[in-house]
């Protein structure tokens, strides 16, 4: 970076002096001190819904033909935010709005000296992507497969952007998969969900959960008939159900196996003269104890942790509602059969 030679106030030649702990340019005639401040530069990180980052190819030196985020000097009379949006429009043809400040970093340029690069996350509001001004091309690149960028500061800013969005993207992907599978009436899921970690913890603590459930159903007014059933038989059946919850969510069991088991459970409870409402209540109480364990197990420091818990809650509801329905169907079929036999007699 070239140094000033003459004073802009009086026109006399500049000298150097040691002031405030640094050597600085000083006018030897009028005493004006020239402080060397970094030049403000505005930079933009803009992503589309496919998680691709908008980059422009530089048409001029320095770093001609390399890719970078829209970037440029702030001009006198405009805010750094306005400079970012102006550069986005000039270099990429896009109009946008500031979402948040991402990063502030320094960069030393051989021509301009020290630069202060301020990077914002920007959301597109209009325009068509096209290179312009200092850019020959504008296009989107996958955030995890970007080309080498012209400025290290932008790579750092994009890394911060990805870190900020990581949990949100994970929640979105998990929710989308969960909803899609629910709409298609599946129990299993084709890919990993965020709540799988909690589901695994439930499996590891099945015995503890079932023990609490046993204490509940043998004292709860809604399951009085279960007090006369063998405790070990109830424990064994509940452990099977807990195993099913994990296996079927992992798509290790078929819909047919699921249906057959609960039809049989309904038939068994009808033959054992357990009222249907108590059989349904026993399943509901098991679901309650799984949920209570989940709530006590989790750590709720981030939004993604809270979402993980509620996603598992929705999966529990879906699983146990289906189990209760098939149990009721199995119970009703046996009852109907008995009624028909009585009629024939």
* DSSP β-ladder status, 135-142 and 113-127: unpaired
* DSSP β-ladder status, 39-45 and 113-127: parallel
Compute the distance between CA of residue 234 and CA of residue 252 in angstroms, rounded to an integer: 24
Residue 204 among the catalytic residues: no
Q: Is residue 26 over pLDDT 90? A: no
Burial of 290: CB neighbours in 10 Å, binned 0-12, 13-18, 19+: buried
- DSSP character at residue 147: P
Question: Which CATH code fits 185-344?
Answer: 1.10.490.70
- CATH 1.10.490.70 boundaries in the chain: 185-344
**Alpha-carbon radius of gyration of the chain:** 34
Report the pLDDT value the prediction gives residue 341, as an integer from 0 to 100: 40
With beta carbons less than 8 A apart as the criterion, state whether 147 and 55 touch: yes
Question: Which CATH code fits 39-166?
Answer: 3.90.79.10
Report the pLDDT value the prediction gives residue 340, as an integer from 0 to 100: 42
Give the active site residue among 129, 137, 155, 278. Answer: 137
Compute the distance between CA of residue 249 and CA of residue 233 in angstroms, rounded to an integer: 25
Q: Is residue 170 over pLDDT 60? A: yes
Beginning with the edge strand found earlier in the chain, give each strand of the sheet holding 39-45 in spatial order. Answer: 71-73, 39-45, 113-127, 94-109
- CATH 3.90.79.10 boundaries in the chain: 39-166
Tokens of 207: 């015995």
Class for the domain spanning 1-36: mainly beta
Report the pLDDT value the prediction gives residue 191, as an integer from 0 to 100: 58
pLDDT tens, position by position, 95-127: 999 999 999 998 887 777 789 999 999 999 999
**In the predicted model, what is the mean pLDDT of residues 183-204?**
73
State how far the alpha carbon of 113 is from the alpha carbons of 36, 40, 163, in Å: 9, 11, 30
Report the pLDDT value the prediction gives residue 185, as an integer from 0 to 100: 54
Q: How confident is the model at residue 303 (pLDDT cuts 50, 70, 90)?
A: confident
**In the predicted model, what is the mean pLDDT of residues 52-61?**
95
Report the pLDDT value the prediction gives residue 267, as an integer from 0 to 100: 94
| Higher pLDDT pick, 13 / 239 | 239
């Amino acid at each position: 970076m070239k140094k000033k030679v003459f004073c802009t106030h009086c026109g006399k030649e500049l000298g150097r002096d040691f002031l405030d702990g640094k050597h600085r340019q000083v006018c030897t005639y009028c005493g004006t001190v020239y402080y060397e401040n970094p030049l403000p530069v505005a930079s933009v990180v803009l992503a589309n819904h496919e998680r691709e980052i908008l980059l422009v190819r530089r048409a001029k030196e320095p770093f001609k033909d390399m890719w970078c985020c829209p970037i440029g000097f702030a001009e006198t009379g405009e805010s750094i935010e306005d400079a970012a949006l102006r550069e986005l429009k000039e270099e990429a043809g896009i109009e946008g709005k500031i979402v948040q400040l991402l990063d502030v970093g320094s960069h030393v340029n051989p021509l301009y000296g020290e630069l202060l690069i301020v990077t914002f996350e920007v959301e597109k509001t209009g325009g068509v992507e096209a290179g312009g001004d200092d850019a020959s091309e504008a296009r989107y690149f996958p955030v995890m497969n970007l080309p080498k960028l012209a400025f290290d500061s932008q790579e750092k800013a994009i890394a911060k952007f990805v870190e900020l969005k990581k949990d949100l993207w994970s929640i979105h992907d998990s929710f989308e998969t969960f909803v899609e599978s629910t709409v298609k009436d599946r129990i299993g899921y084709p890919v990993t969900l965020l709540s799988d970690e909690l589901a695994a913890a439930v499996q590891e603590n099945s015995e503890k959960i079932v023990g609490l459930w046993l204490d509940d159903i043998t004292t709860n007014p809604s399951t009085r008939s279960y007090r006369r059933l063998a405790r070990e038989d109830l424990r064994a059946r509940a452990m099977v159900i807990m195993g099913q919850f994990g296996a079927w969510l992992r798509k290790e069991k078929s819909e047919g196996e699921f249906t057959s088991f609960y039809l049989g459970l309904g038939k068994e409870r009808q033959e054992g003269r357990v009222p249907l409402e108590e059989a349904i209540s026993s399943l509901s109480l098991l679901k309650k104890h799984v949920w209570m364990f989940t709530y006590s197990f989790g750590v709720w420091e981030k939004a993604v942790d809270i979402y993980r818990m509620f996603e598992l809650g929705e999966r529990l509801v879906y699983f146990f509602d289906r189990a209760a329905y098939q149990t009721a169907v199995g119970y009703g079929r046996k009852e109907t059969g008995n009624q028909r036999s009585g009629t024939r007699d």
